[in-house]
């Protein structure tokens, strides 16, 4: 009994030497993990630091957590953490940078209305680069909600005077294409002649397919009419005719929308090229 | 000991100046390189607004074995139907995967006899009066999810 009691007392004193990991050590460990590329581990550690950091020693912790969530593709959590980071940040320029990161999360989710709402809340700019970046993102958000006039108006101030004609040309060409491939117009073409809308949009195979299919059914309808009478033709062939005729019209509409989305992608790529030439190479 | 002349001093100064200039040029170069990459987040915004092209689905074999006559016939029928008929049709099937895709999967997974029965079962269920609470609605496809079980 006596040795047991002595051992217990001695080992109880050892407990005094034991200390838990401090918040600084956890932060350093998280940083190490981040540097090594162990993002999941770094994220867990940073979240632990954020939880225990009651004195707000690490002001940038939420930004780091946001970055890690963004890298892992969890844009909702990233936006939430960037939002917290922007609220506790004291420096105005860093606050704007964080808000722009939050905007990137909305862009990744194709949620352009939320992005725009965030961008329009930024009213003061600390330097011209930040103003340009905000202008660029605002332009993209307007482009995303298909308000192309506002997109051009937001993008114009960030470019130098000599690049403006090219920017306007990109937008005017895109506007022309949108009018040319207006879905209503393409639908009407396919209503008048099945397959015409698809052919006009450059989808030749689909257009010929529709023409042959609907034409074939029409021929069968006429043959049935002549052989068996009008009522037989109506009852047996008209459902098929209706099905592929209206299907072709819908197909034409889809072809028009696809064509516009290609033109939109092309216009956007040209805008980005213009940004690279005018803003990045000549900051 | 050799005396240091003025020429030596000038030479040393010029040498030092070259080194300082060299370091300065490199610093400027690296600073520019560090600043220029992605201040505007171009890599993040470059891929936005990508156009998605709709393509008719094609038959995919589940094994590496060469196709037998029946599989060849089924695969060809499926491909022809999808490319020339289904592509021109209204989106009328209420399920995802569509009845033709379901049929191919059923034949692949259950064999000829059961696969045919499964196909007839699916075709009999595919109409606008299905019971909503019996299927899970897939919002991305705007269809009820009904795989081969």
pLDDT for the residue A279: 79
How large is the average pLDDT for residues A213-232? 95
- Confirm whether the ipTM is greater than 0.85: no
How large is the average pLDDT for residues A225-235? 94
Beta strands in chain B (DSSP E): 95-96, 136-138, 143-145
Q: Please report the residues numbered 128 through 167 in chain A whose beta carbons come closer than 8 angstroms to any beta carbon of chain B.
A: 129, 132-133, 136-137, 140, 143-144
- Asked if B89 has any chain A CB less than 8 Å from its own CB, the reply is yes
- Asked if B39 has any chain A CB less than 8 Å from its own CB, the reply is yes
Whether B51 and A250 lie within 8 Å, measured CB to CB: no
pLDDT exceeds 70 at position B35 = no
Residue B145 pairs in a beta bridge with B96, B136
How large is the average pLDDT for residues B114-143? 92
How large is the average pLDDT for residues B45-52? 88
A to B CB pairs, distance under 8 Å: 74
Whether B50 and A265 lie within 8 Å, measured CB to CB: yes
How far, in whole angstroms, is CA A216 from its chain's centroid?
A: 43
Band of pLDDT at residue A50, cut at 50, 70 and 90: confident
Least Cα separation, residue A171 to chain B (angstroms): 15
Chain A residue numbers with beta carbons less than 8 Å from the beta carbon of B54 are 254, 258
pLDDT for the residue B34: 47
Phi, psi of B49, deg, nearest 5: 60, 35
pLDDT exceeds 70 at position A7 = no
Phi, psi of B137, deg, nearest 5: -85, 125
pLDDT exceeds 60 at position A283 = no
Band of pLDDT at residue A68, cut at 50, 70 and 90: very high
Over the stretch A133-168, which tens digit does the pLDDT of each residue have?
Answer: 999 999 999 999 999 999 999 999 999 999 999 999
Asked if A103 and B45 touch (Cβ cutoff 8 Å), the reply is no
- Domain extents for chain A? 183-280
Of A10-14, B10-14, B57-61, the range with the lowest mean pLDDT is A10-14
Whether A213 and B88 lie within 8 Å, measured CB to CB: yes
pLDDT exceeds 50 at position A93 = yes
Over the stretch B83-96, which tens digit does the pLDDT of each residue have?
Answer: 999 989 988 899 99
Chain B residue numbers with beta carbons less than 8 Å from the beta carbon of A67 are none
- Asked if A279 has any chain B CB less than 8 Å from its own CB, the reply is yes
How far, in whole angstroms, is CA A143 from its chain's centroid?
A: 11
How large is the average pLDDT for residues A279-283? 63
Structure tokens at A181: 């491939």
């Amino acid at each position: 009994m006596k040795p047991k009691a002595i051992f217990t007392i001695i080992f109880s004193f050892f407990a005094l030497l034991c200390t838990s990991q401090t918040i600084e050590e956890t932060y350093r460990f998280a940083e190490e993990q981040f540097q090594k590329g162990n993002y999941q581990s770094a994220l867990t550690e940073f979240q632990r630091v954020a939880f225990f950091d009651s004195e707000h020693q690490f002001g940038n912790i939420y930004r780091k957590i946001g970055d890690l969530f963004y890298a892992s593709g969890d844009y909702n959590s990233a936006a939430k953490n960037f939002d917290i980071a922007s609220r506790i940040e004291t420096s105005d320029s860093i606050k704007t940078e964080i808000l722009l990161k939050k905007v990137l999360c909305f862009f990744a989710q194709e949620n352009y209305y939320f992005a725009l709402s965030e961008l329009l809340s930024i009213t003061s700019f600390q330097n011209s680069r930040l103003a340009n970046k905000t202008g660029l993102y605002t332009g993209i958000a307007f482009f995303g909600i298909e308000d192309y006039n506002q997109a051009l108006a937001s993008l114009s101030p960030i470019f130098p005077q000599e690049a403006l004609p090219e920017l306007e040309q990109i937008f005017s060409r895109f506007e022309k294409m949108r009018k040319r491939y207006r879905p209503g117009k393409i639908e009407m073409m396919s209503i008048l002649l099945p397959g015409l809308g698809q052919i006009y949009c450059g989808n030749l195979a689909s257009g010929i397919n529709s023409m042959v299919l609907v034409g074939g059914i029409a021929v069968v309808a006429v043959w049935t009419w002549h052989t068996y009478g009008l009522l037989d033709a109506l009852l047996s062939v008209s459902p098929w005719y209706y099905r592929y005729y209206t299907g072709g019209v819908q197909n034409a509409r889809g072809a028009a929308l696809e064509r516009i989305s290609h033109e939109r992608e092309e216009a956007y790529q040209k805008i980005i090229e213009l940004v690279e030439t005018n803003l990045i190479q000549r900051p | 000991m050799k005396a240091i002349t003025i020429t030596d001093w000038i030479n040393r100064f010029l040498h030092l100046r070259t080194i300082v200039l060299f370091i300065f040029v490199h610093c400027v170069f690296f600073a520019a390189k560090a600043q220029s990459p992605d201040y505007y987040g171009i890599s993040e915004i470059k891929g936005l607004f990508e156009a998605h092209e709709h393509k008719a689905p094609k038959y995919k074999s589940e094994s590496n074995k060469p196709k037998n006559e029946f599989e060849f016939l089924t695969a060809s029928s499926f491909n022809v139907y999808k490319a020339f008929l289904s592509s021109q049709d209204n989106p009328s099937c209420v399920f995802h995967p569509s009845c033709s895709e379901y049929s191919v999967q059923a034949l692949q997974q259950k064999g000829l006899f059961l696969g045919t029965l499964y196909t007839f079962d699916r075709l009999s269920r595919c109409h606008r009066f299905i019971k909503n609470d019996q299927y899970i609605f897939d919002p991305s496809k705007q269809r009820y999810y009904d795989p081969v079980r």
